[in-house]
Structure 1
Amino acid sequence: MLIHPWDSAVNDYEWQEWLSHAEKFGVLMVNNVDVDLAPIAVPTHFTLKSDQILMHLARPNPVWQHIEAASQIRLVVIGDYAYIPNYWRAKDGDPTELGVPTSYYATVQFICQPEIVDDPQGKVDILNEQFADVQPEGGHATVDVNSAPYGPMLPGIRGLKLHIISADAKFKYDDAKPEEFRERVSEELHARNRRLDPGVARQQKRRLGLIGLWRNN
């Protein structure tokens, strides 16, 4: 993806911190074994653990043959997004209709080496990691190879470990614009208060405090 210098993460901690507070749901992208057909896309929850991404998918999922043939696959995560209308982005002194609209969003794209997990205990370990991540309050039965309800269901899933090769992060919030401009758009987002607007405004404010006035050195 295109990442302008002003849209890039300042370091790995920035995207890791953002992801720790985001819903860990993304799209797994895999090359089709038939090169004449489109890539395979699978929406799924996942768990980020150190330099690995953990997930599980149903065994009948048609994506498996493509994963088995792939040396690398991509996971795309996106959040804190909003449409920014043209009349918010007009230059000072210009008629508002001359502004140019854009989209704000945060995204991380991982390139990974896949490892399929079919060992029952390996699948249990992945499920336990995912429960601890997405349902930390508990309230679920013990996940064990020999115990219901999950033990008998294990043959119906396959685990997947994605070994992270690289991670590209983008925070697109007009950081190349003047500080006053970004402050004004943040206020507009709070006032509109539609869908993900509050989170988008927080991200823009956070980036403003982190970067301040962008200087192209």
Structure 2
Amino acid sequence: MLIHPWDAARDSDEWRAWLRTRDFGQLTANGVDGGPPVVVPTHFLFDGDREVVLHLARPNPIWAALEANPVAVVSVHDDYAYIPSGWRSDSPEDGVPTSYYASVQLTCRARIVDGKEGKVEILRRQLAHHQPDGGHGEVAADAGPYHKRLSAIRGLRLEVVGVRAKFKYDDQRPVEFRERIADGLAERDLPGDAAARAQQLRRMAQRG
């Protein structure tokens, strides 16, 4: 992912705050024996600091990839919108279209969890996050609705060892330019436009 200086996260607080409100992305690992990368869309739980946890079905091809090489990337993107050429120039013929988006990529070292208690801990944490109002029954290694199904899954603990964060909203352009695009997003109001506009305005307010 190319990150120009003006698109970079201002500090770790910015990307952490953004990622804390998101829990779905893509887990990617190198392919085995020269094969293509393995990419798995999945829910996950980021602890806000240095660890991501999740679980997947035992037949998932990601396991062989991680056993061969434990380095993985968790990639999340959101708040995206297409910006037409005419919005970025006084003449549609001269303008260059672009994409607005936010993206965080966590490079991680993976540890596969096969022990029952370890998998139960991951399930408890994920269920507490995704179903905070309860209703999921007891989560235990030897009781409740899940214990007989633990053998069908494997857990994953991902230690974050590197972060690449990007907020691409034309921060290098004058304020008047960005305000014009923000107005265009508000008027167009396609799915995603409001979220992209909110990110653009937030960055504009912080930097000017």
Structures share a fold, TM > 0.5?
A: yes
Q: Does 1:201 align with 2:197?
A: yes
Aligned partners of 2:38 and 2:61 also within 8 Å: no
Residues 180-199 of structure 1 show CA distances to partners (whole Å, capped at 9, x for unaligned) of 11111111111111111111
In 1: Cα distance, 2:190 partner to 2:175 partner: 23
Paired residues for 1:128-139 under 5 Å:
128-139=124-135
Unmatched segments (≥5 aa) in structure 1: 213-217
Instruction: Report the counterpart of residue 163 of structure 2 in structure 1.
Output: 167
Alpha-carbon offset, residue 71 of structure 1: 3.2
Amino acid at match of 1:19: L
Alpha-carbon offset, residue 15 of structure 1: 0.5
Residues 81-138 of structure 1 show CA distances to partners (whole Å, capped at 9, x for unaligned) of 1111111111xxx323321100000000011100000011111110111112222222
The percent of aligned pairs where both chains have the same amino acid is: 49
Instruction: Report the counterpart of residue 78 of structure 1 in structure 2.
Output: 77
| Residue 186 of structure 1, aligned match among 166, 171, 182 | 182
Instruction: Report the counterpart of residue 58 of structure 2 in structure 1.
Output: 59
Amino acid at match of 2:44: F
Number of aligned pairs? 207
After TM superposition, the score normalised by the length of structure 2 is 0.96
Instruction: Report the counterpart of residue 215 of structure 1 in structure 2.
Output: none
In 2: Cα distance, 1:204 partner to 1:9 partner: 13
| Residue 42 of structure 2, aligned match among 41, 44, 48 | 44
In 2: Cα distance, 1:56 partner to 1:85 partner: 40
Moved over 4 A (4+): none
Instruction: Report the counterpart of residue 28 of structure 2 in structure 1.
Output: 29
RMSD: 1.1
Amino acid at match of 2:51: Q
Instruction: Report the counterpart of residue 9 of structure 1 in structure 2.
Output: 9
In 2: Cα distance, 1:95 partner to 1:72 partner: 47
In 2: Cα distance, 1:111 partner to 1:21 partner: 19
After TM superposition, the score normalised by the length of structure 1 is 0.92
